[in-house]
Structure 1
Amino acid sequence: PYERSKAAAEREVLRGVAAGLDAVIVSPAAVIGPYDFKPSQVGRLILDLYRGRLPALTGGGQSWVDVRDVAGGAIAAAERGRRGERYLLSGHPLEIAALADMVAAVAGVRRPRLVLPLGLLGAVAPAAETFSRLLGREPVLSSVSVDSLRGPLEMCHDKAARELGFAPRPLAETVAEAVTWLCDHHLGAAAPSERSTAAPANPPRSAP
């Protein structure tokens, strides 16, 4: 899975550092924002909310960080980071249901009231993974993704702030621009509440 591949890659980088490699590691929290071309998992959640295709939400939450701030933090780490150090690029702790409330307010829609507990999701995740593999599709639900929602929402990025100038922008700003961009590029229309007020997306703020 994606999460395990990232952990394995980090171990390899640290082995390289021990052997003399000049490298730093940046570890973003849950990334959200505009320019979500694929779209990502959170991008699909936003689009499904907008189209009324989401019957329920999951419990748990994440620390959410703007993709542009992650890009700025990565550039700053490459330029000023200390060799062999890891920099956590976290943002704003928020549960999935609260994030959905923010998205719904921007999009002018109602979000699902049903929130599925993580215990239930963890129980059905193995079956969902098996079913997805049989269909040759990316699993909508996995044991690893459920575990990621159980973790602590608060993540400290003090070192990145101190050494790299990392400063995540307000989450409300990120959500508004993410909803507008996703609706415009994937559905052909901006979110209702943003059609007359949407402003150009801001550049990264984390690499002064």
Structure 2
Amino acid sequence: MFALYQLVALRGLRRGEACGLRWNEVDLASNTLTVNWQLVQLAWEVHEGAPKTDASVRTIALDSDTARVLRAHRQQQLQDRLAMGEAWSDTGFVFTQPDGSRLHPQHVSDQFLWLAYLAGLPPIRLHDLRHGAASLMLAARVKMKVVQETLGHTSSAFTADTYASVHPQVATAAAEKTAAPLFGKEDQAQPRHVISLRS
């Protein structure tokens, strides 16, 4: 499930969106994927349903490394399919059980917790990877509107309220950027403005 975890960590998909992703919604030629469905867990039962909100139906750009990981995952899945022969369950899902059947979302979360424990990390939930993706985008100074659309939030105000304070570097960068013109530290590529503090 390496590819699934990387997708959640860098592109911020919800667990159900990643588990419900099908290959016909992934375009590796243009490095995009479209979220149209999700797997919803009710008690222990799993159902396929629409994404959480209308804004959750979206097309997401993939970075080149994540696209490469998905291509490798696709090749491995094709090899597994050949090895399984008639026992393969052709569900079309990107992420599956070894026999091609769909994943149970709770299994994905449990496996992640186990891997985090084995790595000696503090307890982190799979959903924390989604928060991390938002933090990474904000630290990279991605516009709030783009972060909102990538995460599938209804409004950028919700995104700002939820994530803007998550990454300390974002606040630090804002403070430095604000003070830079006063102390002559602005980016050399930017035009220099003269500010007078005299009244």
Same fold by TM-score greater than 0.5: no
Bigger Rg, which one: 2
TM-score by length of 1: 0.28
TM-score by length of 2: 0.29
Higher relative contact order (CA 8 A, sep 6+): 1
